[in-house]
Structures are given as C-alpha cells and as structure tokens.
Amino acid sequence: MGDAGQGYARLVEERFGLRLSSRHAKQLEEAVPELVSDSGYHGAAELYVALAGGRHPELVERLAAALTVGETHFFRVRPQMEALRRVVLPELIARRAGDRALSVWSAGCSTGEEPYTVAMLLLELVPFLEQWKLQLLATDLNRSVLEVARHALYGEWSFRDTPDAVRRSFFDAEGERWRLRESVRRMVRFACHNLMSDPPPLMDPRHEGFDLILCRNVTIYFGPEAVLRLYARFAEALAPGGWLVLGPSDPTPVSGSGLELHELQDALLWRRGERPGASRDLSDGVAGSSRQRVSPQSGVSEAAARGDDADLREVWPLAHAGNRVDARRRVEAVLGMHPLRAEAHLLLGMLHLENGAAEEALASLRRATFLSPDLPMAHFGLGRAYQLLGELDRARIAFAEARRLLSAVPAEEPVSGGDGVRAGELSQAVQAQLSSLPPQRSCRVSS
C-alpha cells in the first residue's frame, strides 16, 4: 500500500474498526480511483484531505463497504444454531413469558440470512408469536447488502446448511431462486448502522437491553482496540443474563469485559452476568462462574417451563362434554403461561384435528414435535393432519415415526396427550392408517 493507500486504510479503521491487511491492497487500489472520479476531487490525495477533515462521510462508508466481505448463509454454524434452538431461545422465551417482549440484534447482518434464521427459529418455537412485542433488528454498514436483505430473494448457495423442510416451510420458489415469505420478512427491521460509532439501535425504552446479540464474522476483520470497545458496548447493550453469539473464529472477549463464556453442546457463547441479587428464575445454573456447561434440559427448567400436568387434565373431559371452545381456551391459557409445553401444543393440535382444522392442527403439532420429538401421539396427529391436507408422503413419514417411537413403549402404557389411550391401541391405529394409504410411488430404473 502506498502513502495515500495507507491514509485511506487508516480512515477506514478509525471510522469502521476494519484493519486492512496487505490482501486488501488490490481492492483499495481499485476502490479509491472510483471514489475520486465520483467525488469530483482532483486526485486521491486531495480527496483524502477532504475525507480526513470530516467531509463526505458517505464516501468513507462506501469505501468500507467495498472492502468488507458479506459472506453468509442460513443456519450458519450448525452447533450455534442448535444451541439457539435448544437452549438459548427456549430459555429466553420462558424468561420473557410474563411481559412477552423479546429483543434481538443481528449486528453485521450482511444480506439477512442470519436474522431471518433467528426469525424462523422463533416462529417454530413461540406459539402466538404475533402476541409478542418482538424487536428483531438487523444492521450493517453496507446499504447494498441491506437492500438485498429486504428483498429476501436467495440463491442455492444461501441454503447450504438449511434443512429442506425449513426451505419448504418458509420460502417460495421464484425461477432458480427462493423468496422468503412475507410472514418472516416482516419480523425483521433492517437499518444502516456503524458498529464503531453509532449507539446500539434499541428503540423501545421499556426494554432493559437486548436479550440476544449476534455479531458473527464481523470482528474478525477488526483491530484489537476496536474489538475491545465493541465488546464493552455489547456488554452494556445486553440485558442482564442476555446472550452474545460471536463467530467461532472471532476474537474473544477478555476477562473483566462483563461477559461470561458458556459452553452449550458444541458451541461457545457469551453471556452478560445477572445483576447481583436479581432473580435468576429459569437460568439458574446457567450464569455464575466464568465458564459453564449447560445441558438442553437445564437451560430451561423443565418443571417451570412445562408446569404441572394437572392444569391440562380438565381439557379432554371438557371437549368430550361438547365444550370444545372452553377446552381450547383452557389449553391456550396454559400455553400463555408456559409457551414451551410440548404436551399443551399436542393437546391443542388434537383439539384442532377433532374440529377438522388441519392447518391449525399442523402448526400446533409441529411445535409439539419440535419441542419434544419423542411424543408418538404428536406424530400420529401430524400424520392425520397431513392426510387431511392430501400430503400423503408426509403423512406416511409421520405415521412411520409414531410406529418407531411406539415400538419402544410397553403396550399397556398410556401415551402422553392420548386421553387414556394406551401404546398398544395407538400402535394399532397407526398401523391402520398406514395400511389405508396408497402404496408409495417408486422410481423405476430402466434397464
């Protein structure tokens, strides 16, 4: 890098934290002349003097954007996504069930795959999400990647870690690409934001801070002082007990930063400590020492999240007495208090099925199997719902899963959510449904 190049590199680091290395030299050599010709200044040196004097900040932003890498994809770093799905989000949802307010910030979101992944996880996990005050903010310094994010039209490469079922549930094919459905898009608010100079973008003053910040594969390009400053800001911007997810190769926070390291399954995450003396309700056993291992079960206190089954026992008698509306309201009330109770979703799904409301049944039963994959009755119900919707291949898969799960249960044992139905009886029902389905179409191989 020549003298002018070094001056521009310094500007980009001061304003945006990005420490340019020798491999950026070529990009800089291409970007600066373009900037000069668009600006009307006579040469790189003259423009540099203007920029260093604080004029045309938008041009320094453009330069920084040209020098950053926007590489990203949905469900990036699977162990981290699993930790979010199984521990972090369930714990936050349970913790926030009272005020139903949740705030998440994807900082350095590039073309949007990261915040949209969080949105999809929340849709899977939270019943009645529309009743929550959800702030899902996604920011980046680069305005053109934000435009792409708002359009939400993605090519195959963005899906390299995405299960097919997720793609089918949330996207519609458009030619060779896939458009994210409006219901997910509207959950995320995108904004241009410089992590080095703009205050954290939390808009709602009632919030005590972000519950979750993701800043992955951003600080890897930052100088050490910028990293230190940014992590200190994140620690301040997080609510007590809030989580920070960094990329696996990003620099880590130093001790004394107010952030504690937690090892969740195969992922390392950071967390702001609780206020001294503050209630730690569902996160008991999570915060505390500087490094802890947390199992999915202890991340959400099962007892607290599921509650006692007594409150669901009234539901079937009510339904059988013809009070289906009351029965449904009863379950919905329980879910309002305990949004993560798989058994309650299962019951709600079965009630919807009884009413012939297949779409609603599907949504509830999918939540039940998502939260607790080993409930045979939920898979049976899913099979019935798919059958009603004419999706017979999926029905077959769901019934087969119910049969597999039931094979490990003694025939006399009552099944969860089955209103006294025993495993043996349910097995017979599953078998009958499977036999009633037309044979699966097979591929013929011509010789």
Ligand X SMILES: C[S@@+](CC[C@H](N)C(=O)[O-])C[C@H]1O[C@@H](n2cnc3c(N)ncnc32)[C@H](O)[C@@H]1O
Binding stretches for ligand X (CB under 6 A): 16-18, 68-72, 76, 108-110, 114, 140-142, 145, 193-196, 216-218, 247
Shortest Å distance, C-beta 445 to ligand X: 41
* Comparison of 28 and 334: residue with beta carbon closer to ligand X: 28
Give the CA-trace dihedral at 20, 24, 30, 34, to 10 degrees. -20
Instruction: Determine how β-strand 238-246 pairs with β-strand 188-192.
Output: unpaired
* Comparison of 216 and 341: residue with beta carbon closer to ligand X: 216
* Comparison of 71 and 172: residue with beta carbon closer to ligand X: 71
* Comparison of 145 and 423: residue with beta carbon closer to ligand X: 145
Shortest Å distance, C-beta 344 to ligand X: 34
Query: What DSSP line would sit under 135-202, residue for residue?
Result: EEEEEES-HHHHHHHHHTEE-GGGGTT--HHHHHHHEEEETTEEEEPHHHHTTEEEEE--TTTSPP--
Helix (H) or strand (E) holding 213: strand 210-215
Shortest Å distance, C-beta 193 to ligand X: 6
Enter the DSSP assignment of 443: P
* Comparison of 116 and 171: residue with beta carbon closer to ligand X: 116
* Comparison of 29 and 161: residue with beta carbon closer to ligand X: 161
* Comparison of 132 and 221: residue with beta carbon closer to ligand X: 221
* Comparison of 193 and 330: residue with beta carbon closer to ligand X: 193
Shortest Å distance, C-beta 113 to ligand X: 6
Shortest Å distance, C-beta 148 to ligand X: 10
Q: Which residues contact 230 (CB under 8 A, 6 or more apart)?
A: 17, 195, 196, 215, 219, 222
Give the CA-trace dihedral at 305, 309, 311, 312, to 10 degrees. 110
The span from the CA of 382 to the CA of 370, in Å, is 12
The span from the CA of 76 to the CA of 106, in Å, is 13
Nearest one of 168, 225, 175, 216 to 196, comparing CA atoms: 225
Distance of CA 271 to the CA centre of its chain: 17
Beta-carbon neighbour count of residue 336 at 10 Å? Answer: 14
Shortest Å distance, C-beta 141 to ligand X: 4
Asked whether the beta carbons of 365 and 343 are under 8 A apart, the reply is no
Shortest Å distance, C-beta 244 to ligand X: 13
Shortest Å distance, C-beta 20 to ligand X: 12
Enter the DSSP assignment of 87: I
Q: Where would I find the beta strands (DSSP E) of 265-335?
A: 267-272, 291-294
* Comparison of 17 and 349: residue with beta carbon closer to ligand X: 17
* Comparison of 81 and 358: residue with beta carbon closer to ligand X: 81
3-state secondary structure 137-155: EEEECCHHHHHHHHHCEEC
* Comparison of 247 and 251: residue with beta carbon closer to ligand X: 247
Shortest Å distance, C-beta 64 to ligand X: 7
Shortest Å distance, C-beta 198 to ligand X: 8
- Report the amino acid identity of residue 401: E
Shortest Å distance, C-beta 39 to ligand X: 21
Q: Which residues pair with 104 in a beta bridge?
A: 136, 212
Beta-carbon neighbour count of residue 18 at 10 Å? Answer: 23
Query: What DSSP line would sit under 6-48, residue for residue?
Result: HHHHHHHHHHH-B---GGGHHHHHHHHHHHHHHHT-SSHHHHH
